[in-house]
Structure 1
Amino acid sequence: MSKKRLLVPEARHALEEFKLEIANEFGVNDPRHLASKHTGLIVRDLVEMGEKQLINKK
């Protein structure tokens, strides 16, 4: 299975918009140039956001 394959293909545009937003927060003009440290921080933030959403649903 390809690592770049989305489970919901229709979400690709939203994902690209989110990447641009995060890149801007880190002061990076092109999200393809994010260093691995930055991507690790992004993943951590995404997990935190997901946890908060799950908690708020209860």
Structure 2
Amino acid sequence: MARNKLVIPEARQALEQFKVEIANEFGVDNPQSLASNHTGYIVRRLVEMGEKQLIENYKNK
């Protein structure tokens, strides 16, 4: 069970799916085995995705 609580608990399934996708990129079969350095990569990817989404939303206004 995770130690950290999600701000939006309903997002847990999406977060778990994202972990699986990142694990696949690293060639890891079990997402729970991702090391802390991979966690940093995941956070960077999430920030990058958020930035792109904000830019697209701004352009479409």
Short-chain TM bin: 0.7 to 0.9
Q: Tell me the percent identity.
A: 67
What is the Cα deviation at residue 56 of structure 1? 0.8
- RMSD of Structure 2 on Structure 1 (CA): 1.6
TM-score of the superposed pair, with normalisation by structure 2: 0.79
Count of paired positions:
57
Q: Which residue of 1 aligns with 2:7?
A: 7
TM superposition shift of 1:3:
5.1
CA distance in 1 between partners of 2:5 and 2:46 (Å):
18
1:20 & 1:44 partners in 2: Cα distance? 16
User: Which has the greater radius of gyration?
Assistant: 2
Instruction: Return 5+ residue gaps in structure 2 as ranges.
Output: none
